[in-house]
Amino acid sequence: MSENNANPNPISGRCIYGYVLYLVSFASLVLYLIWAIIPSKVIHLIGLTYIPSKYWAIAFPVFVVTLILMFSVCFYPSVNYLFTPQLNSSQTLTDKSSRKSYSTREKTFKGIPPLSDLPLDFVSNQLYS
């Protein structure tokens, strides 16, 4: 029986796909840098007549970084807020096996306090007040 392993196995082909992806991405980076740095006249002398404008050498990476920032700052937190239940929802109630913490506002200097559940209003006030 075979085991599920995260390491690339030559039989599965993942290592080959990873190496080809590495080569393609490295070649794309080299071509992008050549296109962005070498003047257009030199590229036309080589024989390449149809190339994108040099404007896109800056505009495309800025566009990609803006998309990543918009996702990480706006979209991802808003999706998390959509899936988080309200504080008064029945999904946030505790059950009979939960342990209530009675000393949430007190600091104990005698050792580690016992393991217990913190009330949601206390956690919200500590994190977001």
Per-residue confidence in pLDDT tens, the chain, 129 aa: 456 666 666 666 777 888 999 999 999 999 999 999 999 899 899 898 888 889 999 999 999 999 999 999 999 999 998 988 887 777 777 677 777 766 655 555 677 777 777 777 788 888 987
- Write down the pLDDT at residue 89: 76
- Write down the pLDDT at residue 51: 87
Contact 119, 99 (CB under 8 A): no
- Write down the pLDDT at residue 103: 60
The DSSP-derived string for 65-92 is HHHHHHIIIIIHHHHHHHHSPPTTSGGG
Dihedral in degrees, nearest 10, Cα atoms 40, 43, 49, 50: -70
What pTM was estimated for this model as a whole?
0.51
Q: How far is CA 51 from CA 43, 45, 61, 77, 86, in A?
A: 9, 13, 17, 39, 54
